[in-house]
Amino acid sequence: MSGIPEPAEFRAQVRAWLTGVAKERTARQEWGRGDDSVAVFENWTEAEERAHTDRIRDWERTRYDHGWGALGWPPEYGGRELPSYYEQLYRAEEDAFDVPRRTEVFPVTQQLVAPAIRIWGTEEQKRRWLSPMLRTDELACQLFSETEAGSDLAAVRTRAVREGDGWILRGHKVWTSGARIATWGVAVCRTDSDVPRHAGITVFLVRMDAPGVTVRPIRQMTGGSSFNEVYLDDVLVPDTDRLGPVGEGWRVTLTVLAAERLDSGGLGLDNADRALDLARHLPRPLTGGERQQAADLFVRALVQRLIGLRVTSALAAGREPGAEASVGKLHATATMRATTDLVQQLLGPRLAADTGEWGTFAWTEHLLGAPGYRIAGGSDEIQRNILAERVLRMPKEPKGAER
Amino acid sequence: MFRLDADPTLLLETEEQRQLRVVLSDLLAETCGPETVRQQTESPRGYDEVLWHRLAGEIGVHGLALPEEYGGAGYTFAELAVVLQETGRVLCPAPLLPTVVLAGQSLLSSGDRQACARWLPGIASGALTATVAGFLHPAQVTAERGPDGWVLCGEADFVPDGEGADLLVVAARAPDGERLFACEPDATTCDRTARRVLDPTRRQGHVRFRGVPADPVGEAGQAPAVVDAVLDAGRVALAAEHVGGSAHALDATLEYVVHRTQFGRVVGSFQAIKHRLADLLVAIEGARSASAYASACLAVEAPELPVAAGAAAVACTGAYRLATAEYVQLHGGIGFTWEYSAHLYVRRARADEALFGTGDDHRLRLAGLLGLTGCTD
Ligand SMILES: Cc1cc2nc3c(=O)[nH]c(=O)nc-3n(C[C@H](O)[C@H](O)[C@H](O)COP(=O)(O)OP(=O)(O)OC[C@H]3O[C@@H](n4cnc5c(N)ncnc54)[C@H](O)[C@@H]3O)c2cc1C
């Protein structure tokens, strides 16, 4: 492909391609039929999780192989080097088609881990990892949090000790989403405890099927298990799987976390749209208050999309996005809560007891899943600290001893 | 159903717009400091007439979004929005909103070329101030055809700059339906009384028409559509002002809390305060995005405009409410004083809601536009 197609032309091309390979989505228009799941985190068994992941992966491979995958990446990684917001243009079209909904591990691999490898990886690592990850032949999970290191991630205690031309990892990670299906884990480890703690961290990519890696699902408040605990018992990792320099792992980690914040801006929009559909189709007139509540959710979702567009267009124009890049996640978690509140108001008792009606009790999955995103990927409170300190330049939080 | 289909580049400030912003904020820094704004509001006309002419002449603010054939510069509303953000930021009391946006748009939307040619060049050059009556709030004005042409009778209240504006565009009941009229009333046929107002930087008046000679604008029956278009433009303009005012409130508050010391530390180091300002930033960035989108829709006359304008009104009135409340609260006692500017912003935010509608008013209207009503049959 030469040159950058006009957005309208590009979208027409996307549509034309999608029409050939996928079915147009009808369920959304036909209210009351089709899949009524609004799960934020899926309640799948391991076998179901694998089966769904395979389906999504098949679709991602089709995209990638036909040149609609790694749109913003250079050709050597299967991409077309289009401006970043073309990915959004693509998704806007794809929304109208019946293709598998991506679970968390996919954006983690493609939008968080792959870009970090592009920045921090050696040439050999980029060759080895990037295309397979963008094509989702390999899937990556984040082995970041530990029981004693959550918001305060730099407190990680998982040790990596050099041995020959490799490293021995020992520790315990928790809340690892997608660990059952990931082929790689990005592990934040302590390699030196004699230096200030941020300087003693190194990041490794660990094969999730390596000897010594044990994954145990943790049941969540939704009833399902989309996250896990992961034991690393003397896992041998070759030095060639170290990402970034020894002792520079904190910066590598921050790269991933920043991408995660940026990627969070779209959370909750699908379900907000669904809740608005519910407000349109509810078999009774809405009260004035309910209309206001519904319109408020509409405005929230619209504004969230606009904030996202401002970020992508700033990036496309080669500008560093400003405050808009950091507010997205807080805005998104508020949208998710407002969605729950509207649905609660509209459904009344049918939210609390399953009458078997389409699109009613299913909302409990949203109600129970939404709180997870206020914690995952940097809690709401941590996001506020980040905004206050990095954007508004207010004083930093006081640190406790030895921080 | 509404579908967001915006060209994201329209949401970014262009280089030209950035330069305009710089020029304007320099001029306003020099002419609209907190003290001078108060003095201006106490002057007979309620604003600085020298500044008015500098804005129109030196920068061409008034004609920015007006077509060249009527003495304008032929830019779009996106440029005017930049201006309104800056004037909103300093609470500049010049009646740009009623003159350029409300009256200007009503003439333009009427499609009446003769009326446009007669009045718009005066608006563009700064020679005329203008406003609308019977648009924002229902008025009781009737139009009758007398021996020497049309005359208006009745009254309109809450008219922005109603006491002083040279030109009034009035929505009146004519025998053949609701119709727009333009008039330049004088005291022989018109009583105009300034109301005591919550917000001294935006005057309102009561206007009694006692047989005011007036010229019809546009066709009979067309008025409701023009009024709708003007209200949308007004919402978009107000949203831009609110973004500017909110941003000022955040900046001023931030500046204060990082210097004010209590308990041996600056109050801005308390997390309770950091988090509140972070939340305010989220609200303002949302407002800024909604305002940019609505301005872009107005600039290209997109069919999404009514929804975009309503959404911007919801997002921006909400952000301004929050910003002005925090402005007072986080300054402590000083924030509650007459001398300090915070209350002027509270006044502006609340009076604007009274004039143009609260967030809930806009939500209710949006719900209707979007069919968020449940099954009503
Ligand atoms: C659904 C889900 C999926 C997840 N997936 C992953 C994953 O794939 N990989 C991974 O590594 N981790 C994952 N996590 C873990 C997540 O990153 C952590 O839970 C999160 O960082 C918070 O850490 P914590 O649980 O230790 O809580 P804590 O840090 O102990 O926080 C407890 C409370 O204190 C607040 N708090 C903490 N510090 C401050 C402060 N400085 N100021 C104000 N308030 C503060 C927090 O906001 C929270 O409300 C996931 C979590 C969830 C819920």
Q: Which CATH number covers residue B337?
A: 1.20.140.10
Residue B1 lies inside a defined structural domain of this protein: no
Last residue of a domain, one of B221, B249, B272: B221
> Across chain A, what does the average pLDDT equal?
93
Q: Where do we find the tokens 């049918």?
A: A350
Query: Which of A112, A148, A151 most suits a substitution to test ligand 1, by most atoms within 8 Å of the C-beta?
Result: A151
Ligand 1 contact via A375 beta carbon (within 6 Å): yes
Virtual torsion, Cα B298, B299, B302, B308, nearest 10 deg:
-40
Residue B377 covered by a domain: no
Q: Assess if residue B287 is contained within a domain.
A: yes
Considering the domain boundaries, does residue B2 fall inside one?
A: no
Interface touch A279/B372, C-beta < 8 Å? yes
B115 lies in the same domain as B38: yes
> Quick one: pLDDT at residue B3?
74
Active site residues of A: 260
Q: How far is CA A302 from the centre of its chain?
A: 20
pLDDT band at A177 (very low <50, low <70, confident <90, very high): very high
Give the position of tokens 């729950």. Answer: A340
* Predicted confidence band of residue B200 (pLDDT cuts 50, 70, 90): very high
Tens digits of per-residue pLDDT, A268-306? Answer: 999 999 999 999 999 999 999 999 999 999 999 999 999
Range A345-350 average pLDDT: 98
The alpha carbon of residue B175 and the mean position of all alpha carbons in its chain are separated, in whole angstroms, by 31
Q: What are A377-394's pLDDT values in tens digits?
A: 999 999 999 999 999 999
Q: In 3D, which of A186, A205, A334, A169 has the Cα closest to residue A257? A: A186
The predicted model gives B206-215 an average pLDDT of 98
**Longest alpha-carbon distance in chain A:** 72
* pLDDT band, residue A7 (cuts 50/70/90): confident
All structural domains of chain A with their residue ranges: 140-248, 264-391
| Contact between residue A109 and residue A102 where contact means Cβ atoms under 8 Å apart | no
Query: Mean of the pLDDT values across residues B251-279?
Result: 98
Q: What is the pLDDT, as a whole number, of residue B130?
A: 98
Q: Which of B221, B252, B274 is the last residue of a domain?
A: B221
- Give me B116's structure tokens: 């446009």
**Residue B158 · residue B355 · CB < 8 Å:** yes
pLDDT at A316: 67
For residues A293 and A341, is the Cβ–Cβ distance under 8 A?
Answer: yes
* Tokens 């002005």, residue located: B324
- What superfamily in CATH does domain A264-391 come from? Butyryl-CoA Dehydrogenase, subunit A, domain 3 (1.20.140.10)
Residues of chain A positioned with their CB less than 8 A from the CB of B274: 384-385, 388-389, 392, 394-395
Strand bridging mode B130-133 / A213-218? unpaired
Q: What is the ipTM of this complex?
A: 0.96
Give the helix ranges, DSSP H, for B126-208: none
Does residue B375 form part of some domain? no
- Is the pLDDT score of A315 beyond 80? no
Mean pLDDT across A107-133: 96
**Same-domain check for residues B67 and B84:** yes
B22 and B111 in a single domain? The answer is yes
Q: Give residue A403's pLDDT band: very low, low, confident or very high (50, 70, 90).
A: low
Compute how many other C-beta atoms are within 10 angstroms of the C-beta atom of residue B197: 18
**pLDDT for residue A83:** 81
- For the record, the structure tokens of A41 come out as 């985190």
pLDDT above 70 covers a percentage of chain A that reads 96
Query: What's the pLDDT at A1?
Result: 44
- pLDDT level of residue A28 (50, 70, 90 thresholds): low
Query: pLDDT tens for residues B285-339?
Result: 999 999 999 999 999 999 999 999 999 999 999 999 999 999 999 999 999 999 9
Asked, for residue B376, whether it belongs to a domain, the answer is no
pLDDT tens for A198-235 read: 999 999 999 999 999 999 999 999 999 999 999 999 99
Are B212 and B233 members of one domain?
A: no
Show the tokens assigned to A357.
Answer: 């009606």
User: Is residue A320 scored above 80 in pLDDT?
Assistant: no
The verdict on the CB of residue A227 being under 6 Å from ligand 1 is: yes
Residue B164 in domain: yes
Whether A379 is in the pocket of ligand 1, judged by its Cβ within 6 Å, is yes
Q: Cα–Cα distance between A273 and A264 in angstroms, integer?
A: 17
Q: Which CA distances in Å does B131 have to A222, B32, B134, B160?
A: 57, 22, 10, 7
Which residues, in sequence order, are CB contacts of B114 under 8 Å at separation 6+?
A: none
What pLDDT is stored for residue B308 in this prediction? 97
Contact status, residue A56 vs residue A383, Cβ threshold 8 Å: no
For the cut 70, the answer to whether the pLDDT of residue A266 exceeds it is: yes
What does the pLDDT look like over B80-106, one tens digit per residue?
Answer: 999 999 999 999 999 999 999 999 999
- For ligand 1, atom 48, the nearest C-alpha belongs to A379
Pick the last residue of a domain from B192, B221, B250.
Answer: B221
Question: What would the two tokens of residue A121 be?
Answer: 């990886």
**Which of B266, B289, B360 lies closest to A307 in CB terms?**
B289
Return the percent helix, strand and coil in chain A, to nearest 5. Answer: 50, 15, 35
Question: Are the C-beta atoms of residues A156 and A191 closer than 8 Å to each other?
Answer: no
Q: What angle do CA B234, B236, B240 make, to 5 degrees?
A: 115
Of the pLDDT bands very low, low, confident and very high (cuts 50, 70, 90), residue B1 is low
Q: Containing domain of residue B190, as a range? A: 131-221
* Same domain (yes/no): B358, B311: yes
Q: Which residue, among A282, A291, A343, A382, would best test binding to B if mutated, counting the most B CBs under 10 Å from its CB?
A: A291
Residues B175, B247: one domain? no
Same domain assignment for residues B121 and B49: yes
Q: Residue A137: is it exposed, middle or buried by C-beta count within 10 angstroms (0-12/13-18/19+)?
A: middle
Same domain, B207 and B255: no
High-pLDDT (> 90) share of chain A, %: 81
Separation of alpha carbons B257 and B266, rounded Å: 7
Q: What is the DSSP letter of B374?
A: B
Regarding whether B79 and B154 lie in a shared domain, the answer is: no
**Nearest CA owner, ligand 1 atom 41:** A382
Whole-number Å distance, alpha carbon B323 to ligand 1 midpoint, is 29
In CATH, A140-248 is 3.40.470.10:
no
Burial category of B377 from C-beta neighbours within 10 Å (exposed 0-12, middle 13-18, buried 19 and up): exposed
Instruction: State yes or no: pLDDT of A29 exceeds 70.
Output: no
Cβ atoms B72, B105 nearer than 8 A: no
What integer best gives the mean pLDDT of chain B? Answer: 96
CA of B326 from ligand 1 middle (Å) equals 29
Q: Is A67 left (phi over 0), alpha (psi -120 to 50) or beta?
A: left
Total domains in the fold of chain B: 3
How many CB atoms neighbour CB B74 within 10 A? Answer: 12
Instruction: Kindly state whether residues B95 and B202 are assigned to the same domain.
Output: no
Residues in chain B: 377
Q: Can you give the CATH number for the domain in which B150 is found? A: 2.40.110.10
